Amino acid sequence: QLGAGSQDSWVPHPAQPLADAMNLPPDKMKLLSQYDNEKKWELICDQERFQVKNPPSAYIQKLKSFVDTGGVSRKFKRRVQESTQVLRELEISLRTNYIGWVQEFLNEENKGLDVLLEYLAFAQCAVTTDNGSPGSDKGKSPNRSMEDLSKSNFSSPTHGTSKARHLTMRLAPVHSRKALRNSRIVSQKDDVHVCIMCLRAIMNYQSGFSLVMNHPACVNEITLSLNNKNPRTKALVLELLAAVCLVRGGHDIILAAFDNFKEVCGEKNRFEKLMEYFRNEDSNIDFMVACMQFINIVVHSVENMNFRVFLQYEFTHLGLDEYLERLRHTESDKLKVQIQAYLDNIFDVGALLEDTETKNAVLEHMEDLQELFSQLTEKLQDTENESMAKIAELEKQLSQTRRELETLRVRPAGMGGAGQGRDLPSPSTVCPLPPPVAAMMIPPPPPPLPHTEDTGSPNLPSQQQAPPSAPPPPPPLPGDDVIPPAPPLPEIGIPPPPPLSGLDGPAPPPPPPPPLGMPAGGISGPGAVASSGESTVKIKKPIQTKFRMPIFNWVALKPNQINGTVFNDLNDERVLQELDMNDFEEQFKTKAQGPSLNISTLKVKAVQKAPSKVTLIESNRAKNLAITLRKGGLSIDSICQAIQTYDLQGMSLDFLELLHRFVPTEYELTLIRKYEKDQRPLEELSDEDIFMIKFSKIPRLAERMNIMTFLGNFSDTAQLLMPQLNAIIAASISIKSSTKLRNILEIVLAFGNYMNSSKRGAAYGFRLQSLDALLEMKSTDRKQTLLHYIVRVINEKYPELTGFHTELHFLDKAGTVSLDSVLQDMRALQQGMELTRKEFMRQDDSQVLKDFLKANTEVMEKLQTDGKTAQEAYESAVEYFGENPKTNPPTMFFPVFGRFVKAYKKAEQDVELWRKEEAAAKEVESNPPSKQEPKSPVHKVKRQQMDMIAELKKKQMVKEPLIYEGGDGAIEDIISALKTVPFTARTGKRSSRLFCEASFNEESPL
């Protein structure tokens, strides 16, 4: 013992050995280093009391002495008496000592694993020889299980070239007979069982597990321990082997060990002895459970489905299926659970083939159903549209009848005489109408002309949106030529360019090209600058460079955008004059260059080079036009001919919309006129410039293209607008005319006044959004809402109101309609139709325009009538419920009713469910349990079994992963998990009919 005086000098140094001895993790070790010397001394004293006194070498020497077969048998008997106790102490040391002790036991110097396996082989060689070897080999050497198996290269189906696991332990042939006799003495004790426990403790460490897995004989010796007569030992071995199967790479090692078992024990088929023990040990439930668990895991823990079927058939061939059929009446719940787990994982190839054929038939049937569903959906949509159209027509007739009735009622009011009201019904017999509805009964004024609308179609020229409302002036006299009259507006398709004579000077400079990325027509010429008050902006001329320069991808500002900015006072031309740009061109010129030009001779050759420099449209615009023309795939003449004849068959609508962007601007028209005035040949121009020249020759080009776009889109737009208008009309008139809805609102008003009138005074109405508050007001017990209570009242007192929602039509469809957008689209159609009529008056020989007007004039008139009716009906309905049409669009108004109907239906379902529960509770109270027939014990047992299996399957949903990694504690974790939840393969399948139906479903009323 150490004295107190040596405490201070001794404690600080053994901190690391102390931590090693205590087997502490890093975080605890760090905490230990922070303790003071007194605390460390207490820990050392405590550790001293629990420290194992025997080093690993002591156990190794004793195990070696037990294996020694020399000497007198009586001496061996005396030595072997203590072998079991020594092994038990070794197992405790391996399981409880710190990891350094275990590593010392397994190191190269001690080779404790080899010594332990040598003793295990010695302890069970007699059992293996007596129970396993063929009759012709019983007289041979007993170390058959420990000989070199290099001649047996049997490999598993998954590893046809796997390396054979050779056994290296041998017993001397001279002592074989004596070793066999001594082995029989040892086999009668629990030495084999405790040896397996020692190996299990070693495998619970990561380093020990790796050593065992890489050892050529260890798993083979563990597997051979199945020949032991003790059922507990067999169960222990199977639990350990099952856990190894679930570790990565362990399944192949287990199959190789059973191949070795077959070779050593002389089996005809693999797993033959295992099935023999499974049948014969029916009195030991723990062994049968472990055996069934191992069979389930070794068969179904592989990913390869074909290999699983192969392993499954191995056990089927050995009679497992027939034996499980006999076990279906077993009383052990644990065994039933393991059997059921195996049957749940089993592959029935015939059933799978049947399922595949059924699946194909179901897929074909599903395709037919999808096609039928599409047809029915389309038919339903058509029927719905027809229904909405009919309802809208009836609403228009009703509205017209009401107007006529109001006219007849108003007419006698302004007449005198005794005949007033003689032929008219009395006011008391006529249903009074609210003021908004009465107001809309007055015959409407004729529809306004298209040019009186404020909002026009963006595709139509601006002059068609706001022409003068006064009639056109008479034509001038023939002699009056002082001021030539402006051309009449109807004869102009696009706005005329600003007159060139409006500027100071005889000839203004040409306007600049539009900036990059500017849409067509963005800047129409110098007039744009002058009109905005920026006449001081100097028009910059393009700069001719010596070399071809790359494009600087910036976003340029328009001249009218720089007023008041920093760019207004900048003079970049002065900067260019001060700088030497030759060096800049040399460094930034593009790689593709023509022959070098001399800047001094550039002006001399300018006249000769001019034809190659001429371009009528900006470069990026020309590139985009070229791409568009290639996409259209039509020649220039075909495009122009199609536009002149309004031929939508020869040119697609998409291509026409792309061409809208390339209508020549005023600047481009000026260049084209100048080019033609100079009488220069077209051959010098690119294809895009030639197209632009021919394109600009089409009279009223912009109007024609707008009309063609209108002609192409009219049918689709009309078909899109009509159902929306019909939905608004039908929904508006249905909610306004529903008496059931009115009565329900009356009930809600009554409940609200009852609750609020004493505090806030009586209310005479409420906003519609108050209906949502019915779900927020809850009862005292918080179990029901005010809406639930109102539903109960309606069911009991006003049953005729329960189906009120059947009177409300198309609320969902109407709630998605933007009425303002629909009316705006209709105004655009109206303006487009008017423009088409005017164009037909100019070109009355166009058969396309004639056919279009003949076919669609009535459609347009119907759309106008429906649009007006929808607007009037919606405004009337909104005002009828006390709301403002301007602040409540259909997307806000109709969803209020939709939500109320949905909540009402849900409340009805809740009330009905509560009613059934109350009825069932009353029935239970009226029938005491004593009067019921008690269930049979068999049924109770079956029910308990099914509940337990259901619970285990529920736990299986959060089971450990299918493949484990061999870390510290992995083996114990796997064994513990398998005892809690049976193994289930990753591929889920339906339960097998072999065991479930026979065991659990018979005699069951379910």
Query: How many domains are contained in the chain?
Result: 4
Burial of 366 (0-12, 13-18, 19+ CB in 10 A): exposed
Question: Within this chain, do residues 22 and 110 fall inside the same structural domain, yes or no?
Answer: no
Question: Within this chain, do residues 769 and 916 fall inside the same structural domain, yes or no?
Answer: yes
- Segment 348-384, tens digit of pLDDT: 888 888 888 899 999 999 999 999 999 999 999 888 8
Among 267, 284, 305, the domain-final residue is 267
Question: Within this chain, do residues 165 and 251 fall inside the same structural domain, yes or no?
Answer: yes
Q: Give CA angle at 867 (861, 873), nearest 5°.
A: 135
Helix axes 56-67, 112-132, angle to 10 degrees: 30
Question: Within this chain, do residues 134 and 216 fall inside the same structural domain, yes or no?
Answer: yes
Residue 692 domain flag: no
Please state the rounded mean pLDDT for residues 406-426.
59
pLDDT of 585: 61
Quick one: how far is CA 817 from the chain centroid? 29
Which residues 6+ apart lie within 8 Å of 224 measured at CB? 121, 124, 128, 145, 260, 261, 264, 265
pLDDT band at 293 (very low <50, low <70, confident <90, very high): very high
Among 347, 382, 397, the domain-final residue is 347
pLDDT of 893: 94
Question: Within this chain, do residues 256 and 284 fall inside the same structural domain, yes or no?
Answer: no
Phi-psi label, residue 111: left if phi above 0, alpha if psi -120 to 50, beta otherwise: left
Question: Within this chain, do residues 104 and 87 fall inside the same structural domain, yes or no?
Answer: yes
Residue 498 domain flag: no
Question: Within this chain, do residues 916 and 787 fall inside the same structural domain, yes or no?
Answer: yes
Question: Within this chain, do residues 158 and 97 fall inside the same structural domain, yes or no?
Answer: yes
Question: Within this chain, do residues 245 and 185 fall inside the same structural domain, yes or no?
Answer: yes
- Segment 531-585, tens digit of pLDDT: 444 446 666 667 777 776 666 545 554 566 556 554 455 666 655 666 666 766 6
pLDDT of 6: 40
Among 327, 347, 367, the domain-final residue is 347
655: helix, strand or coil? helix
| CA dist., res. 735 & res. 713, Å (int) | 34
Residue 257 domain flag: yes
Residue 376 domain flag: no
Domain membership of residue 296 as a residue range: 276-347
- 317 or 38, higher pLDDT: 317
CB 271 within 8 A of CB 314: yes
Please state the rounded mean pLDDT for residues 495-521.
43
Residue 542 domain flag: no
Q: Tell me the H-state helices in 798-881.
A: 811-814, 819-842, 847-880
pLDDT band at 79 (very low <50, low <70, confident <90, very high): low
CB 91 within 8 A of CB 16: no
- Segment 225-243, tens digit of pLDDT: 898 888 999 999 999 999 9
Residue 828 domain flag: no
Indicate which CATH number applies to the domain containing 261.
1.25.10
pLDDT band at 804 (very low <50, low <70, confident <90, very high): very high
Question: Within this chain, do residues 16 and 108 fall inside the same structural domain, yes or no?
Answer: no
Question: Within this chain, do residues 77 and 220 fall inside the same structural domain, yes or no?
Answer: yes
Question: Within this chain, do residues 298 and 205 fall inside the same structural domain, yes or no?
Answer: no
Is the pTM higher than 0.75? The answer reads no
pLDDT of 788: 92
- Segment 685-739, tens digit of pLDDT: 888 888 888 888 888 888 888 888 888 889 889 999 999 999 999 899 889 888 8
Task: State yes or no: pLDDT of 651 exceeds 50.
Answer: yes
Q: Give CA angle at 454 (452, 457), nearest 5°.
A: 100
Of 179-183, 482-486, 519-523, 597-601, highest mean pLDDT = 179-183
Residue 126 domain flag: yes
- 600 or 857, higher pLDDT: 857
Which residues 6+ apart lie within 8 Å of 664 measured at CB? 520, 672, 692, 695, 696, 701
On average, the pLDDT of the chain sits at 73
